[in-house]
Amino acid sequence: MNSFGNKFKFTSFGESHGKGLGCIVDGVPAGITIDESFIQEEMDRRKPGQNIYATSRKEADKVEFLSGVFEGKTTGTPIAMVIFNENQKSRDYTNVKDLFRPGHADFTYFEKYGIRDYRGGGRSSARETSARVAAGAIAKLLLKELNIEVLSGICEIDGIKSSNTNFNFAKTSEIYALDENKEEFQKEAIIKAKKEHNSVGGVAFVKVKNAPVGLGEPIYQRLDAQIASAMMGINAVKAVEIGDGIEASSKKGDENNDQMRAEGFKTNHSGGILGGISTGADIDVKVYFKPTPSIFIKQETIDINKNEVDCELKGRHDPCVAIRGSIVAESMLALVIADMVLLNMSSKIENIKKVYN
Amino acid sequence: MNSFGNKFKFTSFGESHGKGLGCIVDGVPAGITIDESFIQEEMDRRKPGQNIYATSRKEADKVEFLSGVFEGKTTGTPIAMVIFNENQKSRDYTNVKDLFRPGHADFTYFEKYGIRDYRGGGRSSARETSARVAAGAIAKLLLKELNIEVLSGICEIDGIKSSNTNFNFAKTSEIYALDENKEEFQKEAIIKAKKEHNSVGGVAFVKVKNAPVGLGEPIYQRLDAQIASAMMGINAVKAVEIGDGIEASSKKGDENNDQMRAEGFKTNHSGGILGGISTGADIDVKVYFKPTPSIFIKQETIDINKNEVDCELKGRHDPCVAIRGSIVAESMLALVIADMVLLNMSSKIENIKKVYN
Amino acid sequence: MNSFGNKFKFTSFGESHGKGLGCIVDGVPAGITIDESFIQEEMDRRKPGQNIYATSRKEADKVEFLSGVFEGKTTGTPIAMVIFNENQKSRDYTNVKDLFRPGHADFTYFEKYGIRDYRGGGRSSARETSARVAAGAIAKLLLKELNIEVLSGICEIDGIKSSNTNFNFAKTSEIYALDENKEEFQKEAIIKAKKEHNSVGGVAFVKVKNAPVGLGEPIYQRLDAQIASAMMGINAVKAVEIGDGIEASSKKGDENNDQMRAEGFKTNHSGGILGGISTGADIDVKVYFKPTPSIFIKQETIDINKNEVDCELKGRHDPCVAIRGSIVAESMLALVIADMVLLNMSSKIENIKKVYN
Amino acid sequence: MNSFGNKFKFTSFGESHGKGLGCIVDGVPAGITIDESFIQEEMDRRKPGQNIYATSRKEADKVEFLSGVFEGKTTGTPIAMVIFNENQKSRDYTNVKDLFRPGHADFTYFEKYGIRDYRGGGRSSARETSARVAAGAIAKLLLKELNIEVLSGICEIDGIKSSNTNFNFAKTSEIYALDENKEEFQKEAIIKAKKEHNSVGGVAFVKVKNAPVGLGEPIYQRLDAQIASAMMGINAVKAVEIGDGIEASSKKGDENNDQMRAEGFKTNHSGGILGGISTGADIDVKVYFKPTPSIFIKQETIDINKNEVDCELKGRHDPCVAIRGSIVAESMLALVIADMVLLNMSSKIENIKKVYN
């Protein structure tokens, strides 16, 4: 249950403060050039400790390839990547060892498994998402061969919404803001929350450009269903929206339908997906992150013996998980698209003949 | 790709105007009493033609069991259920045969497969969801053995939001409205749109009561990810939210965290899921439906030869798919919970010993 | 767990004496012409009651299509096929209802599920294999598009081995014998056993001609592993062999290696599979069937209350299950190959470009 | 496609002469004590370089745990294990780089993927099986909690068959021979072949003791089908037999049926499996290995440009792969049983109530 994908599939492992974490990416077609520096750049976009808007925990997040690449190319065999943990502060966990931090998975993991690695959240730590970014980078290299691009940015922080969508600006923004005019206010909101030992929520916007028509396997591996699963499965995500999703639910049919002309759809309210299958238009997804549960304000909770206790956290945390989360969302979207690209190949007998004849 | 679930798994088949549709439910534990009248009642909640708020197509949606039940009990073997189509108006499809109805899957199916059953949407018709309700009814009979209950209702139509949540009222409401004070206005909005040959969107609220702690398989079969996939995979759904989801993204950490006392969580902003695992609190999900794409207003589109044409639909359609869709959402949620109940059994070695010793 | 295959996947349902049985075949590419008469011919090869070498139970085994085919072609949606049971003798089951027939699955199903449909073996009856033949016929129609052929015949009955392999003769032989010179002796052995109220074992030989190189997904969905699983999963099969399999285990390396020349392999000891991947040579499989467990000689057994009782069966049974079993083996092999054909499509990036460019 | 198992699932990675290999074991229940020395002992049974009957390549096969174990116990999260390759002779591969070694997967991998890691067979090397042994050792620790034991030994080498089955002797034998009276002759056969630069085939016998009744998921994840898949998927295996398998195909029904008395089955011709489900009797499996394809005799082959060339291998190889292969077979059997133990838990509603009430 630590695997994602059907044909382009990855399985992740690792805990926040264990020896290391990583993943095996299986089903990667042979013959793709693996640009290790590109993969490291992707890792660097998510890695912690880069500025004041993120946790101060420093991790190089250096990816080591153990298999699957030979003379710079994929061989069709599984690609194993490991990221060794470096900055495992051998600190004292006495204050969190036995209690359940509010908003965290401490309680649920303990109840489910009867045991948990309490160091930094163990397996439930967002640190696991570094493996998703590594796998996502491989997916992107596949998509690049087909000229498919995946982009992301932050469209809302602490209720401050973007008015425009500038992915180029997002690339250079410390908080991956999509709107250069809102970035400053969004940054201020984060810093204010941080000073108050609190945290803020946010929303990421993720887009696929140039996806072919036909991706998505109805009825239950629909493209939208797979995207929803991928996004909702990211730590702290509590809602997912395709195209005009939420707004669409209060619109009329004639306002929401995307009419067509010879050159394509006149609008894209559907977010590039109809009947669970890509339309060829941009695939647009919004991902809603809750505020980081790790705050430094006293909270009420219980311990593993069901005693009521106060929880006073210390340590290093992101004041807004949506920021680095947007990179994870982008990676997961790349993984979904890569998987659907492979699955869709056998939709018609004529495609099969193209490969075998 | 027409299967859903891991251990409690169903596979559906069938087209809107074909011979019939149905499903095979696999992984159902042996020894569950199958109350066929309960299953038919569930079917009846979703079936068309019941009132003016739904399509006038009449279908008995009578379920026939072909296997898996012996002397009134499940045997552990696959349960096949078939619903034969009765009201397949042998009407003229000339006007839709070659064009792509806006907002529908006509274009994407045609591009993906190079062929499509154009009669009533074929496989992409919401009629397929009757199979999900049949499967969901079996899931509910399993959940009943563990006293787990799944409920649903409509919390918003055409922008008119419910102020309270009365599942008992919803059961008797023709539009499954959760708020007795808003039902009338919501009904009016539907009728108004219908008169204007238009349609409206809506939002369903779905809840699980008495779910055990521990459901959900991290990291990628998390309970929330599975729910998101199940819900987004329903026809016309474009957004899914767990707990306070969307609102949470503009809140502070101290407002959103659910603190704990000995008797349980003080609040339930998380919607009963933390770290992808159920907390034991109510599981709360909101499902956003777009307005029915089938409207009777002239629209621009293209045909299969890429010629620009006008689309003027006739026929019978739901003016608001959210209504009957809420029953599908409830069924899918039951299926997810049943699946997770089975998957979670082996989380601890002590559970395994309980079964084998 | 009633599904087989990864991408070309079928799920079967049904019991020996229930309403009917059948399957859903999912993942069938769109655009394949479905020749219903061919499918029925395939069914007829396996159906009971055709001659004195098989059970006298008569079943038309008429396949009804419920979905997935439109205007004679596959649409990419799931194909549901049902075979209604006709000859369910409403006979008295008192003598087998509570006891476990030796060599049958009665005991194991009862222990596993705590309940069983005792009529004719219920789900564990070889009657379920009619669904595999229906699904296999669809697979064959796919393979035909690529000029891949699957053949079968009987190479041994009651220890009487074939000396040559004549698939054309097998097609016309009542016992599907591969050796026209041995057929008579093999028939005699069957009739002798039948007269003695006993049964005989046998061996089927199954072959794929013209399979492309490259089928099989290492390491754990290898072609040989999938074939082994498919064959061992057939009722009464207790051993599976690829190429020279058993003999190879007592040979030397230089005797067993298949050396190569420009025109291909000089020999085919490997049975067309190296490293779990097809070599392009014939794929050769032997399938070993135990004698039918249903015999009419008094046997010792116990009942569901663990009382020791005598078992005296009556009824209609195949004196040699290998015969009709060979058709099932052929169908399963077609299903494996079809699945592997689809899976292999994405092995190289150049294949993917062929489909998308 | 590098994963095995359904609920107790492992995914392996790594090439013979890459950085390292290993696996992720997912679905391991929490609370199992991980005895690292036991795991290393298991590895040592398979590791190369131990005596003259195996390859002289020396590898410590030291397992490093990266995740999933906390304070000596499993946590329910994935267990990642890595074995770094040490003895990667940086030797000259010129002689094998471009040609296809007879009996090996060189040709098929090249055709399938268009590229291959030619160093020591790359991914297709039997070295990958060390990951299976590591995973199998975890499975054994689970089975030990339920008192289930898995045993193996060699029952035939170069046609020299064992007359008795002494698993205790096998544990101490350098060639894991089951028959102390045949061991010497079997050893001689190996040494003789080695001197002649040739290799020999062999047969392993694998047994499960004390398996509970009810393991195996009909119809297509039957216990026998899963075992067949697991065994046939081992390098160099070409046939698999359950119980009296091959012999059974030439027997009569009354000879082969296992009759029952109150205390259990009177015989065990079925090898502990009926209808694909375990009977509670010993599960008996025979695994047939071809002779090692790596021999040092000149052979005819072609190169990647289809030129006819001679192949003269050098290097270090096992003269009989069955020996170390038997340990792999034992490990795979443990993995199958562990998986089936978990899957079977939900067969009856009463089991589910045991866990949740």
- What range defines the domain where residue C36 resides? 3-356
The verdict on B32 touching D (C-beta cutoff 8 Å) is: yes
The verdict on B266 touching A (C-beta cutoff 8 Å) is: yes
How far, in Å, CA of B136 to CA of C172, rounded? 48
Q: What is the pLDDT of residues C116-137, one digit of tens each?
A: 999 988 999 999 999 999 999 9
* CB < 8 Å to C347, chain D: 112-113
Subunit contact D341:B349, Cβ cutoff 8 A: no
The residue-averaged pLDDT of A129-139 equals: 98
CATH number of the domain within which D294 lies: 3.60.150.10
With CA atoms as reference, report the closest residue to D277 among D333, D229, D212, D324.
D212
How far, in Å, CA of B189 to CA of B184, rounded? 9
How far, in Å, CA of A27 to CA of A25, rounded? 7
Q: What is the pLDDT of residues A301-333, one digit of tens each?
A: 999 999 999 999 987 889 999 999 999 999 999
Per-residue confidence (pLDDT) for residue A117, from 0 to 100: 93
Is the pLDDT at C87 greater than 90? The verdict is no
Subunit contact D115:A73, Cβ cutoff 8 A: yes
CB B341 within 8 A of CB B143: yes
Is the pLDDT at A92 greater than 80? The verdict is no
For residue B216, give both structure tokens: 């959900």
Q: Which of C252, C332, C350 to probe the D interface (max D CBs under 10 A)? A: C252
CB D274 within 8 A of CB C108: yes
Q: Is B4 helix (H, G, I), strand (E, B) or coil?
A: strand
The verdict on A20 touching D (C-beta cutoff 8 Å) is: yes
C-alpha distance from A36 to closest chain C C-alpha (Å): 18
* pLDDT top residue among B54 and A148: A148
Across-strand partners of B242?
A: B285
Per-residue confidence (pLDDT) for residue B59, from 0 to 100: 85
Subunit contact B351:D29, Cβ cutoff 8 A: yes
Question: What contacts A47, CB < 8 A, 6 or more positions away?
Answer: A59, A60, A61, A130
The verdict on A273 touching C (C-beta cutoff 8 Å) is: no
How far, in Å, CA of B283 to CA of B267, rounded? 12
Subunit contact A249:B221, Cβ cutoff 8 A: no
Per-residue confidence (pLDDT) for residue D89, from 0 to 100: 62
Residues in chain D: 357
* CB < 8 Å to D31, chain A: 113-115
Mean pLDDT over all residues of chain A?
96
**Residue with tokens 């004070």, as numbered in its chain:** B181
Q: Which of D4, D8, D66, D109 to probe the A interface (max A CBs under 10 A)? A: D66
Q: CB-hemisphere CA count at 13 Å for C297?
A: 20
- Which amino acid type is present at position B5? G
A290 assigned to a ligand binding site: yes
* CB < 8 Å to D233, chain C: 219-220, 222, 224-225, 228, 276
C-alpha distance from C184 to closest chain B C-alpha (Å): 40
D124 assigned to a ligand binding site: yes
Per-residue pLDDT of chain D (357 residues; tens, 9 = 90+): 999 999 999 999 999 999 999 999 999 999 999 999 999 999 999 988 889 998 888 889 999 999 999 999 999 999 999 999 987 666 778 788 999 999 999 999 999 999 999 998 999 999 999 999 999 999 999 999 999 999 999 999 999 999 999 999 999 999 999 999 999 999 999 999 999 999 999 999 999 999 999 999 999 999 999 999 999 999 999 999 999 999 999 999 999 999 999 999 999 999 999 999 999 999 999 999 999 999 999 999 999 999 999 999 987 889 999 999 999 999 999 999 999 999 999 999 999 999 998
Residues within 8 A of A (CB atoms), B 334-353 only: 343-344, 347-348, 350
Question: What contacts D335, CB < 8 A, 6 or more positions away?
Answer: D4, D5, D8, D10, D132, D135, D136, D139, D230
* CB < 8 Å to D146, chain B: 352-353, 356
Residues within 8 A of D (CB atoms), C 177-206 only: 193, 198-203
Q: Which of D19, D23, D67 to probe the A interface (max A CBs under 10 A)? A: D67
Per-residue confidence (pLDDT) for residue B185, from 0 to 100: 98
The verdict on C145 touching A (C-beta cutoff 8 Å) is: yes
A212 assigned to a ligand binding site: no
The verdict on C262 touching A (C-beta cutoff 8 Å) is: no
Subunit contact B75:C122, Cβ cutoff 8 A: yes
Residue B40 CB-density burial (10 A; 0-12 exposed, 13-18 middle, 19+ buried): middle
Q: How many structural domains are present in chain B? A: 1
Mean pLDDT over all residues of chain C?
96
C-alpha distance from B59 to closest chain D C-alpha (Å): 34
Per-residue confidence (pLDDT) for residue D314, from 0 to 100: 85
The verdict on B305 touching A (C-beta cutoff 8 Å) is: no
Q: Select from A212, A350, A355 the Cβ nearest to the Cβ of C351.
A: A355
The verdict on A293 touching D (C-beta cutoff 8 Å) is: no
Q: Which chains does D contact via 3+ CB–CB distances below 8 A?
A: A, B, C
What phi and psi values does residue D140 have, to the nearest 5 degrees? -60, -35
The answer to ipTM > 0.90 is yes
How far, in Å, CA of B220 to CA of B276, rounded? 9
How far, in Å, CA of A146 to CA of A140, rounded? 10
CB A325 within 8 A of CB A237: yes
Subunit contact C257:D295, Cβ cutoff 8 A: yes
CB D29 within 8 A of CB B349: yes
CA distances from A323 to A162, A174, B254 (A): 14, 9, 19
Is the pLDDT at C88 greater than 70? The verdict is no
Q: What is the pLDDT of residues C228-279, one digit of tens each?
A: 999 999 999 999 999 999 999 999 999 999 999 999 999 999 999 999 999 9
C-alpha distance from C357 to closest chain D C-alpha (Å): 20
R_g of chain C, CA atoms, integer Å: 21
Q: Select from A342, A347, A349 the Cβ nearest to the Cβ of C346.
A: A342
* pLDDT top residue among A150 and C59: A150
CB D245 within 8 A of CB C288: yes
What phi and psi values does residue C293 have, to the nearest 5 degrees? -70, -25
How far, in Å, CA of D107 to CA of C1, rounded? 35
Q: Select from C29, C218, C349 the Cβ nearest to the Cβ of A348.
A: C29
Q: Which of A141, A345, A350, A354 to probe the C interface (max C CBs under 10 A)? A: A345
